[in-house]
Each structure stands twice: as C-alpha cells, then as structure tokens.
Amino acid sequence: MAEFRTTSNDKHKKRSGVKRSKKLSTRVDLTPMVDLGFLLITFFIFTTTMSRPKAMQLILPKDSADPVLQKESGALTLIPSGNDRLFYYEGINPDKMQLCSFRTLREIINNKKMRTHPADFMVIIKPTHKCIYKKTISMLDEMTINGVHRYALVDLNKPESDKVEMMENK
C-alpha cells in the first residue's frame, strides 16, 4: 500500500502562557490514485487507433477477349538486374539493349516520354532472377513519380535473358 507521511515539527520553544496543540502526522493512502492511473492508461490504450497498413494502389485492366494492341515505337522495356544494373531497350528488338544504372532511370523515362505520343507510351518492366524486391518496388515508384499511366510487370523471355547474361558477363 502506498502512503505519504508527514512529521510534526516539535522544535519550537515552549512559551509560557500559550498552550499549543500537539500536531499529529497525517497519513494519505495513494492506492486509489494508482488504480485510477492504471484505469486511465488502459482506457487510452484500448481507445487509440493503430496506424493503418499502407498498400500500393493496383490498377488492373478490364477483362476483354481482344488483346490490346500497342505500337512498337511507344514501348520502353526495362530489365532490372543485380548489382544496381538496369538494362533497357526501345521497341521490341532486344538486340538494341543498353546498360545503365538506376540513377539514370528517370532521365531515360522522361526522354522516351517526350519523344512518344502519350497514348502510345508504355513501359514494360521485366525483372531478372537476380533483381531484388526493393529495386522492383522502386521502379514501380518511378512510374508513379514520372506520371507513367501505362506500365506492366512481365516475366523475362528467353532471348532477353540470354542477351542480359551475355552483357553481364562482359
């Protein structure tokens, strides 16, 4: 049990003719105050809201039987790989593949975006098996930052995989 004690101060000289009353010590029980503190703590813990999980907005295309045709000249293919390497090419020919770093990604996207009609511009992201998850998410963030409305995350095909392996071994 918690308590608070005060002592009387009897160091005064006794005066003649004046009778003083003896002061007793007071005892204050703080147990109800501790209970109230715990009640307040539990109230605020139960009534607080935890932070909501943040998720990336995913916009899926509408289902249709007809495939959406894309102009070859408006396509930009990005292939992230390990060791901060990024391969890219324009159109559908992987023989024109070039190597760059993730620092120049924004410049590459903006350059292609300026040269292409907005309705024809599309970015295709094809991560390799060496690419880490963080780099893939940063590329998706770059699409949002640069205002790219049409992009797709696709698996790497055999000719592109061979070309990437050849360029990494140089």
| H-helix segments, 22-157 | 31-47, 105-115, 133-145
Q: What pLDDT is stored for residue 39 in this prediction?
A: 93
d(CA 84, CA 89): 17
SS3 of 65, please? coil
* Residue 15 φ then ψ, to 5°: -100, 150
The predicted pLDDT at position 77 comes to 92
Can you read off the two tokens belonging to residue 91? 């159109």
Q: Report the interhelical angle of 105-115 vs 133-145 (nearest 10°).
A: 40
- Predicted local distance difference test score (pLDDT) of residue 102: 84
pLDDT score recorded for residue 14 = 57
Least Cα distance to 79 among 94, 61, 60, 59 occurs for: 94
How much is the pLDDT for 23? 74
- For residue 5, the model assigns a pLDDT of 60
pLDDT at 80: 92
Q: Chain-centre distance of CA 101, in angstroms?
A: 22
Q: Which residues of the chain carry a pLDDT beneath 50?
A: none
Determine the pLDDT at residue 119: 85
Question: What is the fold of 72-168?
Answer: Nucleotidyltransferase; domain 5 (3.30.420)
Strand order in the sheet with 85-90: 98-100, 85-90, 75-81, 122-125, 151-153
